[in-house]
Homo-oligomer: A and B are copies of this chain.
C-alpha cells in the first residue's frame, strides 16, 4: 500500500503551459465511492490502464492501492461505470522541486482546471506557483469521484 498525500488548487493562470513536459488524456470512472473506499478505473491515452482503490480520506491523506490492468478490461469497466465517468488532459509540470499535475477537464466539466501536487509528508512546504488560486484539497465538490457524479462544474462561470 501507498499513502497518498495530495494538495489541490484551482488553476487561475496560464504560466504552467511553458513549463509542461508532457500530457496524456485520462478517462476515469468510479465503480464505487462510499465511506469505506473509492474504486476507480483509469485509462491513459486509451493505451494503459489501472484500477485504483482509495480508502477514506483523513485530511489530505488516504490509503491507495493501484494495479495495472489490461486496456480491454478498462474499456469494459469504464462502460460499466458510466455515466460516472470523466475525461481530462493531464499536463506534467515541474515547479519548485515538485511535480505538479495540471488537469484540464473536458466534456461536461469543460472549464474546470485543477492543479495537484503529491507530497511525502502532510507538513511538507510547498512553493505555490502564481498560476494557482484557491486551495480545494478538502473541498469534496472537487474530489474526482464527486465530479464524475455531478452534472455541473463547481466554481466555473
Contact = CB atoms under 8 A, between A and B. Distances in A.
Contact of A73 (B65, B69, B80, B81): B65
B53 A31 contact: yes
Interface stretch (A13-21, A32-40, A87-95, A130-138): A32-40
B36 A80 contact: yes
Which 7 pairs show the lowest CB-CB distances between chains A and B?
A32-B32, A31-B37, A39-B39, A1-B76, A65-B73, A67-B67, A55-B80
Interface in A61-110: 63, 65, 67, 69, 72-73, 76-77, 80-81
A76 to B, nearest CB: 5
Q: Quick one: copies of this chain in the complex?
A: 2
Interface of A: 1, 31-32, 34, 36-37, 39, 51, 53, 55, 63, 65, 67, 69, 72-73, 76-77, 80-81
Nearest to A75: B1
Contacts of A1: 72-73, 76
Contacts of A63: 76, 80
Nearest to A55: B80
Contact of A39 (B37, B67, B72, B73): B37
A55 B55 CA distance: 21
A53 B52 CA distance: 12
